[in-house]
């Protein structure tokens, strides 16, 4: 299945993934404050990165894009810390 056909057949799922990725890239100060208070900021950001990686892989799979052996650089969405 070509990527365009795959994208159309999985449209709602891809839309949901995009929305979740957008949410994960939004700075949620209240949650970060709670994590800092509990001493788990590093762990929170690690889990966030794992979720982003998972969603990007799922998105690629649904779109029919091969990800293994890809020459794309590894993204670290929490590199500002």
User: From the centroid of its chain, how far is CA 21?
Assistant: 5
3 occurs within a structural domain: no
Provide the number of structural domains found in the chain: 1
32 occurs within a structural domain: yes
Q: What is the pLDDT of residue 72?
A: 52
How many other C-beta atoms can be found within 10 angstroms of the C-beta atom of residue 10?
19
To the question of pTM greater than 0.85 for the whole model, the response is: no
User: From the centroid of its chain, how far is CA 25?
Assistant: 8
Q: What is the pLDDT of residue 81?
A: 45
14's tokens: 């891809």
Q: What is the pLDDT of residue 65?
A: 81
Q: Of 31, 79, 24, 81, whose CA–CA distance to 53 is shortest?
A: 24
Range of the domain at 21: 11-63
54 occurs within a structural domain: yes
29 occurs within a structural domain: yes
Q: What is the pLDDT of residue 64?
A: 87
Residue ranges in the chain whose pLDDT is less than 70: 1-9, 66-81
């Amino acid at each position: 299945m070509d990527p365009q056909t795959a994208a159309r057949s999985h449209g709602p799922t891809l839309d949901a993934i995009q929305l979740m990725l957008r949410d994960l890239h939004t700075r949620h100060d209240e949650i970060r404050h709670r994590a800092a208070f509990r001493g788990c900021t590093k762990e929170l950001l690690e889990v966030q990165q794992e979720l982003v990686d998972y969603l990007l892989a799922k998105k690629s799979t649904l779109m029919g894009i091969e990800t293994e052996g890809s020459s794309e650089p590894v993204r670290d969405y929490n590199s500002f810390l």
